[in-house]
Structure formats: structure tokens, C-alpha cells
Amino acid sequence: MAENNLEVDQREHVDLLVVGWGKGGKTLAGTMARAGKRVAVVEQSDAMIGGACINIACIPTKILVHDAESKRESDDTDDYFATAVERRDTLTGAMRKKNFSMLDDLDSVLLVSGRAEFTGEREVLVTGGPESMQITADTVVVNTGSVANVPPIEGAELGGRIHDSESLQHVTPFPKRLVIVGGGYIGLEFASMFTQFGSQVTVLDRGQRPLAGEDSDVAEVVASALSDDGVTIVNEASVTAVADGSEKATVTYEVDGEEQTIDAEAVLLAVGRAPATSELGLDKAGIDVDEKGFITVDEHLRASVEGVFAVGDVKGGPMFTYISLDDNRVLADQLLGEGERTTADRNAVPYTMFLTPPVARVGLSEDAAREQGYDVKVGAKAMADIAAAPRAKIEGDPRGIVKFVVDGATDLILGAALVHVHSQEVINTVALAMRHDVTSTELRDTIYTHPSATEAMNEVLGAVQ
């Protein structure tokens, strides 16, 4: 532990200290407080109360995606985008206020505003406000999330016309031309969004094709939809420099050894996320991190120091708010339950890229299943060709594909890729079926409401071979 002669204004000891107001940590804080435990939650930014999801990630970006999809050709682009941003800010502000009250209303929760830095194994010093506070705890949960990577590219410094996924949500003026460096999850989502708002979007991607983890037929459908909406994707593009000028930004990149440049009013750097740990003083607590700086944990989310845990993005792995929520369940079982639940219990975890139409995936792709030696059977159809599921046609966007990968030996579903309207909802049904060993035949013959996107499974699974 640290020496006790620290110059602090206040000292507190709690049962549970949560550093960072992310999904997993805030949920655990409420659970522990209602169980009679004394809890402290430290957050350095009032703008991040409630966590990244409701403030800069899931919720605000999906508001913008929804409004972009609703834009009409007759709408003025600048005014329409400004209105969408205003709606984004209003809703996130209301959610931030609600998240604050959800913990503030609990008598045994101490909410502390400031920056926390470890001074011992389960001890932090909180500074940044008018007073400092030393907090010790029986259990500490690090829940500080992640930040956008800034790539080691000449001139790639955030500010002005150079943005990360947070600042681009408030870009002004609205960019007529947008260059996105990186063709991953975030890059493609913003590409789809901004092209529908009215930007001329170019994505510079290092890969040979978009969605390298998907089968080529699925990736081609997604790339075609993006192209139809006006997005240009440059594959195998190595960005070498970014320059922000008085009237435009210029991005320099190479393709097949040939140097090229492209100008834009805004540039988005979308090249992954890094753990938000740089100022936590993890070394002072003896907390181990991996080669990328993420806190290393075991399947119970225990860090290398007794009584210290990490949840959410800061520990690496899939960076989804529902993973952080499940981290909370694992940890709640450790602290209040039988201690049997672990991260190894997770299977058939779905995800969705909110493009237009959305791309949803769970389990193995066809390529991955064949590589693992399964007796692979496949059912796949273009959404426009599925007669039994007219929902997409009703909504005016029949683009997409429904693809299932089935184990021929057991009839169990190995994976699915759904690219169509409402796929973000349908994928949860598929994931649930996979978790409970529902066969493809049973899923094929189930009664679904009509007209819905879900009933595409009747026809596609009927074509498995």
C-alpha cells in the first residue's frame, strides 16, 4: 500500500470502488449498493456520466444513422444534419441525467468527480476538482473503457479537419467530402451514415476487401450496397500522410506503390481503439497489461492484483456494451453469488454493424467452418429473392443476403450472416437458437409473424444443402 502521509483533503474506504462510469461498472455499482454495500464511483468527465455507449458511441451514432436513413432528397443537408445532431444531443443529455440519478438516488453510493490514479493495490487518489480524495476499497473495478487510436502517420493529429469518431458527430460545417482512414466496423458505419446525410465519402482501407472476416459473397453484398449509396472504397491503400490546410485537408496514400492524394473537408481516423489507461498509474498498483496496454484478466475478470477486476473495453476483447453488461453479471456472481459464472460461458455472441442495411453476424462463417473441419451445409439467398419474407420490399430496401451455415452431422447451426432491414433483431433469435441447440430444421419449421424479416428463415433454411 502507499504511504499514509499523502496530502489529501478527504479519505474514504468503501466495499467497492468503480473507476469509470461504463455499462458494466455502473450496473455493478447499483447492484452492490442495493445489496447493502458501500460503493464509490469515480468519473473524470461530466460529459461521460453513464459511459461511452450513451454519450459518444452506441446511442448517439445510431440516432444519426436513423436520421441519415430518413433524409429526403429535398431536405437541406446542412440544416438536416444540424437538426439530427441536436436530437442526438437532447436524447444523450436526458440519458446522462437519468444515469446519474440511478446511482445518486442510492444512499450508499458515493459519486466522485475527478481523475483517479492508483497509489496502491486497492487505493486511488482522485484529483481534478477543488479537493483531492484518497479512496481505498476491498474491491476495485477498472471500467475506464477505450479511446480512439491515432495512427503513426505523418500529420495525423486530432483537431481542425482531422477527427475521431467522437468529434465527427459534431463536425461543422457539414463536409461535402469526407475521407475515412480505415475500413473496419467504425469506418464503414460512418461511411454509410455520412453518405446518406450527403457527403461524398471515400474509405481508404489497408485490406484486400471490406469485411475480411466475412465470406466473400456476404462481403460483396455489403460493398455493393455501400457503393449504391455513393461510398467509394479504395482497397489495399496505405495512408502515409494527412495534412490539414486552411480550406481543405489532404490525405496521401499509396496503392500498388503508386502515390496518390485526395482532398476533403473532413478526415475520420478510424483505425481501432486503445485502452484508456494512460493516466491510471496501473504500475503503481502492480496491475499487469498486455502488449497493447489492455488490462490482463482471467475468466473471472480478475486482474493480476488480488481484489482488482477489469470490465468492458479496458480489458480488451469484443468492444460491445452488451459484453460489458455481461462482465457485470460475471463479477456480480463473484462478489454476491456462487462465483461460478465466467467469461468462458459465453457462446454464440452476435454483433451488428449498423450500415444500411445492417450487417448482423453470429458464429462461424462458411470459410471458418470448413477450415475447422465441419461437414458444412449452406443455405443462402438474396433478400430480394426471398418470396416468403416481403418485409424488406415493404420498407423499400430489399438489398441484402441471408446466409446460414449448418453442421451436416448434427443439423445444428454453426453461424449466420444476415444483411437486411431489421437484421439486428433477427440475429438475436438465431443466437438464442444456437445457445440452446435448436436445430436448423426446427428453426426452419417455426411459425413466425408475417410480414416480418424473421420469416426469411423459413425459406432460406429450407434451401440448406
Of 420, 402, 439, 431, nearest to 353 by C-alpha is 420
Residue 27, all three cell numbers: 450496473
Contact, 354 vs 189, CB < 8 A?
Answer: yes
> Annotated binding residues for NAD(+), as ranges?
182-189, 272
Contact, 347 vs 358, CB < 8 A?
Answer: no
Helix (H, G, I), strand (E, B) or coil at 301: coil
Count of positions (residues) in the chain: 465
Is residue 163 part of the annotated active site? The answer reads no
> Annotated binding residues, as ranges?
62, 144-146, 182-189, 272, 313
Residue 189, all three cell numbers: 458505419
Helix (H, G, I), strand (E, B) or coil at 12: strand
- Reported as type and span, the H/E element at residue 126 is strand 123-127
Residue 294: DSSP 8-state? P
d(CA 183, CA 185): 7
Instruction: Kindly report each contact of residues 313-318 with a partner whose C-beta sits within 8 Å and lies 24 or more positions away, as own/partner.
Output: 313/22, 313/52, 313/145, 313/146, 313/273, 313/275, 313/276, 314/20, 314/142, 314/143, 314/144, 314/145, 314/146, 314/275, 314/276, 314/277, 315/275, 316/275, 316/290, 316/292, 318/349, 318/351
Residue 114, all three cell numbers: 475527478
Active-site residue list: 450
